Amino acid sequence: MPILVIFAVVGIVYLVQKKIYQKYWNRNLDATVAFTDHYMFEREQTTLIETITNAKKLPLPWIHVKFQIQRNGNVEFYRNDMFSILFYQQIRRRIPYTFTERGVYTIKGIDLVSYNLFITDKLAETRHTGDTLIVYPRRIDPEEFRVPYERMNGEIVTKRALMEDPYMFKGIREYQPYDSFRKINFNASARAGEWMVNTQDPTVSQTIHILLNMEKGTQHYEAWLYEQSIRLAASLAAQYEEDGIPVSLYCNGKDLITGTDITVPAGSSSGHVHEIFGALARLDITAEVDHPIARDLEEALKGRDPDTLYILISPYYGDDLKQAYRELRSYITAVQWILPVSYRDMSDPEFTGSKVPEELEDVYLWQN
């Protein structure tokens, strides 16, 4: 008889707790996973904050918190943590993680799985909560692109020396035969007893326009070479903007969020740099381009903007692009093609070792 009573009591307890857990296990239960940073660079470490809060009198002896981090729509990281949480308790866990590739990382939901006291019923729920982290392409050491950078700087210095801003007063000097009569400062001339003229600071009107090409010669392209091209574009943009030179960016690759070509107008501020970095972080190198970059070189040739210095970054070097670049170069000297190459490219018979074919003589081969 006592055994029957025990079984009856256990049975009642089981049924009661089963119904209680079915109805209340997820009430006042909160779980979040968030990035501590909203943007960072490749190879930097950040921390994920996983928090679970049980704000009720019912304890949860077993609960799994499952989530995944997606990069550009693909699963990058998966985690399944188990907790035992009492009533009115909060547990917070810090998870260090290093993101080695640029892109858009998202946490789109959290799966919660718990059980009753007898572990007989599986209780599950998905929380549609999330967070986003933008990983920028890492900056390359300026020494690695010093030669093409100084080439373009030479063009900028030359243009600046030829253009003076009449509104930027710099100082006074003695009159020279080539000076304009309008530059004479009569008050200073009267005091000095000889003709003196005003001098002005040079006009800073040059803009760097970066053209980043995502064309591929074959289906078996070297993805890392295109990633290096993206890093170079980001690094050059940042370097020029640090020097106070406005930079614009165009890429015929696709923005993985909007599905359109990437265009960032000219600017020269820290916010503008982040805009360029963010656009390059969203670039999908696997997407097909709608048109070759040669078309944009042809448009540049038609415009021939004297205040724009063009930098083409393209691992692709097909005949159409070489022809368009050669033609643009014949009319505009302020244009530089940086061709990222691999050791496999350098073994191509077209290069004959380190010798550059005639149509690429003005191209800077960047081997990294």
CB atoms within 10 A of CB 319: 9
322 burial (CB, 10 Å; 0-12 / 13-18 / 19+) is: middle
The CATH number of the domain covering residues in 142-160+204-367: 3.40.50
User: E-strand spans in the chain?
Assistant: 29-35, 39-41, 45-54, 60-71, 74-85, 89-98, 103-107, 110-115, 122-127, 131-136, 164-174, 196-202, 207-212, 247-255, 261-267, 283-284, 308-313, 335-341, 363-367
pLDDT of 162 reads 42
Token code pair at residue 255: 């923005």
**Distance (Å, whole) CA 195 – CA 185:** 8
In terms of average pLDDT, the best of 6-15, 207-216, 329-338 is 207-216
In terms of average pLDDT, the best of 16-30, 160-174, 235-249, 323-337 is 16-30
> How are beta strands 283-284 and 247-255 bridged, if at all?
antiparallel
Q: Which of 27, 16, 8 is nearest to 117 (CA)?
A: 16
Q: Where are the domains of the chain?
A: 28-136, 142-160+204-367, 169-201
pLDDT of 214 reads 97
pLDDT of 190 reads 78
Q: Domain 28-136 adopts which CATH fold?
A: Immunoglobulin-like (2.60.40)
| pLDDT above 60 for 351 | no
Cross-strand bridge partners of residue 165:
none
| pLDDT above 80 for 355 | no
pLDDT of 289 reads 95
pLDDT of 127 reads 92
55-111 pLDDT, tens digit per residue, is: 999 999 999 999 999 998 889 999 999 999 999 999 999 999 999 999 999 998 999
The mean pLDDT of 205-222, rounded to a whole number, is: 86
The rounded mean pLDDT for the chain is 86
300-309 pLDDT, tens digit per residue, is: 888 777 788 9
The mean pLDDT of 336-351, rounded to a whole number, is: 72
Sequence-separated contacts (24+) of 160-164 with Cβ below 8 Å: 160/202, 160/203, 160/204, 160/206, 161/202, 163/202, 163/203, 163/205, 164/199, 164/200, 164/201, 164/202, 164/203
**Distance (Å, whole) CA 224 – CA 211:** 19
> How are beta strands 74-85 and 89-98 bridged, if at all?
unpaired
| pLDDT above 50 for 202 | no
Cross-strand bridge partners of residue 266:
none
178-196 pLDDT, tens digit per residue, is: 455 666 777 777 778 887 7
> How are beta strands 131-136 and 39-41 bridged, if at all?
parallel
pLDDT of 206 reads 80
Judge if pTM exceeds 0.85. no
Enter the DSSP assignment of 353.
Answer: T
- Residue with the bigger pLDDT between 2 and 139: it is 139
pLDDT of 130 reads 82
121-173 pLDDT, tens digit per residue, is: 999 999 988 899 999 999 999 888 888 888 777 766 555 444 444 444 556 77
pLDDT of 203 reads 46
Please, are residues 348 and 367 in contact by the beta-carbon 8 Å criterion?
Answer: no
pLDDT of 192 reads 80
Please, are residues 104 and 279 in contact by the beta-carbon 8 Å criterion?
Answer: no
- Picking from 48-57, 85-94, 167-176, 212-221, which range would have the lowest pLDDT averaged per residue? 167-176
**Distance (Å, whole) CA 366 – CA 233:** 13
Token code pair at residue 14: 């089981």
- Picking from 86-90, 194-198, 210-214, 335-339, which range would have the lowest pLDDT averaged per residue? 194-198
Q: How many helices (H) and strands (E) does the chain have?
A: 8, 19
pLDDT of 330 reads 85
**Distance (Å, whole) CA 124 – CA 116:** 11
